[in-house]
Each structure stands twice: as structure tokens, then as C-alpha cells.
Amino acid sequence: MKRIHPYILILLICLLFAADSSFGSEESAMTNVKVVEVVPRTLRVFKSYIGHLKPQNRVIVRSETSGTIEKITFEEGEKVSFGEELVHISTNELALRKVIAETNFDQAVSDYQVERKLYFNSPTGCQENSPCESMHVDLKTIRLQADLAKADYQHAHSELKIQEQLFAKNMTSSASYESFRTTAEMKRITWQQAELSFQQAKIRDLSRLENYQHVVKINEVNLKLASLQLNKSKVKAPFGGVVTKKMAQLGGFIQNGTDLLEVMDISSVMVRISIPEKEMQYAAVGKRVSVKLDALPGEAFQGKIKTLGLEADLRCRCFPADILIGNSHQKLLPGMMARVEMLAKSDSHQIIVPRHAVLERQRGTVVFVVKDEKAVQVPVVIGDMIGEDVSIKEGLKFGDRLIIVGQNLLANQDPVNVVNQNQKLAQK
């Protein structure tokens, strides 16, 4: 039997294949595709940032006085409450100093009140602080002496007037008249000296009362200082939280400003992120954001922007922002990496299609839609990228049947066979 040459065999096979292809050409020319109907969707564009968690409040508590640590009421890792006493520094000594200051103050007040009563020993019918003249007991004696001197002068002056009349009528001698005039002048001088002594005594007594009052004020200040020093010796928690570091040692002598402990509050935590200057238009204080952590996969936490920086970092043209997140469950710990998503814009009635349905051709970006059982190539203008989807600004309209499977095999006006019907793009 004669062998068939291999080239002849290949040629026969090709001829048979070509004949079979021409026999079913009409059916094989149609491409199977899947389509979806273009419907209105809401466009939500999110901006993502990466940061790390930090406590809302963290402070190193330092001493405000020098002395010996007499008492420590906490251990590292313990929870403390706002205002709770944590360390005592020479508290016993300062408590005694306050007692001494209180005693001195009480004594000064008592002395002042006694002197005040003496000074304001008013005449019958006069009340304290009344416009009538008030005076000390010794001052009253001097006042009485001045009044007596005045009465003597008035009496001598009256007798002098009588002598002047008698002398004018030559009824008395010149020597007698001069004697009465000299006596009246002496009485006047005595009265003026008594008045001057009274005024000096009055000023002296008032000054003495004011001195007692000044002593009261000085002791009052000393008491306040002693109370302040005593309060400073009792170191208290500035807020509720957890003691993360303990530096104080019982019995040690410390100076003013020595570090004693560190307190951290994680009832809320912060995320520090950097927002590019072009995206600052979407950020605002109080705006809510979503936060996810690599350490807690599958969970999302709600936060809000607490602060926005007013000056950009010139190295990256970014603005700092702090995100506040509630942490009552204590699951969020400082140092954890956080991914923040912020809604940049949300527009309804937008056309959004799968990114793989959009093709790059020589003449630009296109999609294929089905019209009259044929694939029609439509030029489009794309907008924002949203995950696996893309928004279409121009080219498509609601109700179009967009080809999402098989479009890579098509040319314009190719006949197609739709293998699915009445499917619409769903809102994600």
C-alpha cells in the first residue's frame, strides 16, 4: 500500500475544516455576550489614609514641691480615677505647718476684734460705723481734757469782754485789764494744745488698729500658702486612666519637678493622618469617618475629625488631622496601624459600570452596547475610579444594554447572542 505524503494529509485536513466552517458560517459569526442594563446609581468616592493610634490623653505627672515620698497608693498598670491621691510628699510636716498657720491666723483675728471693740466704743446712741465720732477709752479721756480746756478758755474770754467794757468806762485799772487778757490768752493756748494732743492720739489709735488689721491679712496669706503647699504635697491623678509608668520610690527625697508617674487615658483614642492639600476640600472638623485596623480584621469603627492642621508639611504638601474614636471596649491600643476612609463626595443618579467593561482602543476609550442584536461601539468619557467600578461622564445613558462579558472579542456592528436577559447593575 502506498504511503500518503504528510504534506498532502495536512492539506486534505485543512480543506475539510474550511468546508465545515463555510457550512455553519452564519451561526458561528455570532458572539455570545452578557449584558446589564444601565440604571441610576449613587456615586460615593472615598479617600483613604494610613495612620496609627495614640491615646487621647497621656501625661507625665511631676512633683510640685520638694520633700520625702511618704506614701504611694498605686502600682504600674492599675486604673486610677480623676482626683485620686497617688503620692504624698512630706505631707505630715506640711500638715503641721498648716495647723500653726491656722493658729496664728485665729489669734490675729481675735486680737484685731478686741482692739476694734476698744476703738469703736461709741457714746450712747451711736452705732459702729455711724457718722458720730468713735474713739478708744484712752482717747475719750484726752477728748474730755480738750473740752475742759475749751470751757476754761470760753469762760476767761467772757470775763475779758466784761473787763474791756469796764476799762473803756474807766471803771477798772489798766493792770487789772491786762491780767484778764493774759489769762484768756493762756487759756486759749492750753485749749489749742489739748485739741492737738487729741488729734495726735486719734491718729495714733487708728494706726494701731490698722496695724492689727495688717497682721490679720499677713496671717491669712500665710495660711493660704500653707494650705497650697499641703495640697501640692498630695499628688493627684489629672484624669481617669491607667498608670503606664511608675518612677516614684517610697522614702526617696525628690526635688520640685521630679517625674513621678505616667498616666494614659484610652477611653478614646486618636488617629493622626496626613491629608494632601488637594483633598483638604473634603475634610471638616466633626466629619465622620470609618476606621479599620489590621489587628482587628473584619471590624470597622466610627470616628470623627477632631482637629485639622492650619499649616502644610512642606515635604509632602499634607495637612495633619486627628481622628477621635470612642474606645469604651478598650480594644483599640496605642501604636496599632489604622486605615481611615473619608467620604469625599456622594452624587445620586450617576452611571457607574464595571472597569473591565471599558476598553482602550486606538481612537480612545469605548464600551459596547447591544442594539438590534448587534454590538455598537460607544466612545465614553470616564470619571472617578471606585474600586472595581468607574463612573461614566459622557457616552452612556440610562437604559442602555452594556456588554460586560465578551466585549474583548467584538468589533463595531458585530452580531451578538445575549445569553442573559433583564439583568441590571446593582448598587454596591
User: Each residue's pLDDT tens digit in the chain (428 positions)?
Assistant: 445 555 555 555 555 544 444 444 444 578 899 999 999 998 888 999 999 999 989 999 999 999 999 999 999 999 999 999 999 999 999 999 999 999 999 999 998 888 777 766 644 334 444 444 444 556 678 778 888 888 888 888 888 888 888 888 888 788 888 888 888 888 888 888 877 777 767 666 667 778 888 889 999 999 999 999 999 999 999 999 999 999 999 999 999 999 999 999 999 999 999 999 999 999 999 999 999 999 999 999 999 999 999 999 999 999 999 999 999 888 999 999 999 999 998 888 899 999 999 999 888 999 999 999 999 999 999 998 888 899 999 999 999 999 999 989 899 999 999 988 656 665 55
What local confidence, expressed as pLDDT, does residue 124 receive? 36
Find the Cα–Cα–Cα–Cα dihedral 326, 330, 336, 338, rounded to 10°.
Answer: -30
What local confidence, expressed as pLDDT, does residue 173 receive? 84
Domain locations along the chain: 26-43+348-418, 46-55+267-346, 59-91+233-260, 96-231
Q: What is the CA radius of gyration of the chain?
A: 52
What local confidence, expressed as pLDDT, does residue 385 receive? 87
What local confidence, expressed as pLDDT, does residue 346 receive? 87
What local confidence, expressed as pLDDT, does residue 5 receive? 55
SS (H, E, C) the chain: CCCCCHHHHHHHHHHHHHHHHHHCHHHHCCEEEEEEECCCEEEEEEEEEEEEEEEEEEEEEECCCCEEEEEECCCCCCEECCCCEEEEECHHHHHHHHHHHHHHHHHHHHHHHHHHHHHCCCCCCCCCCCCCCCCCHHHHHHHHHHHHHHHHHHHHHHHHHHHHHHHHCCCCCHHHHHHHHHHHHHHHHHHHHHHHHHHHHHHHHHHHHHHHHHHHHHHHHHHHHHHHHHHHHEEECCCCEEEEEECCCCCCEECCCCEEEEEEEEEEEEEEEEEEHHHHHHCCCCCEEEEEECCCCCCEEEEEEEEECCCCECCCCEEEEEEEEECCCCCCCCCCEEEEEEEEEEEEEEEEEEHHHCEEECCEEEEEEEECCEEEEEECEEEEEECCEEEEEECCCCCCEEEEECHHHCCCCEEEEECCCCCECCCC
Q: Which residues is 367 bridged to in the sheet?
A: 378
What local confidence, expressed as pLDDT, does residue 259 receive? 95
Architecture of domain 46-55+267-346: Beta Barrel (2.40)
Name the pairing type of β-strands 337-354 and 259-276.
unpaired
Q: Quote the CA–CA distance of 237 and 242 in Å, as a whole number.
A: 10
Which fold is adopted by the domain 26-43+348-418?
2.40.420
Domain 59-91+233-260 classified CATH 2.40.50.100? yes
- Matching fold, domains 26-43+348-418 and 59-91+233-260: no
Question: Which of 155, 114, 162 is closest to 137 using CA atoms?
Answer: 114
**The three grid cell numbers given for residue 180, joined into one nine-digit string:** 484778764
What local confidence, expressed as pLDDT, does residue 427 receive? 54
What local confidence, expressed as pLDDT, does residue 12 receive? 57
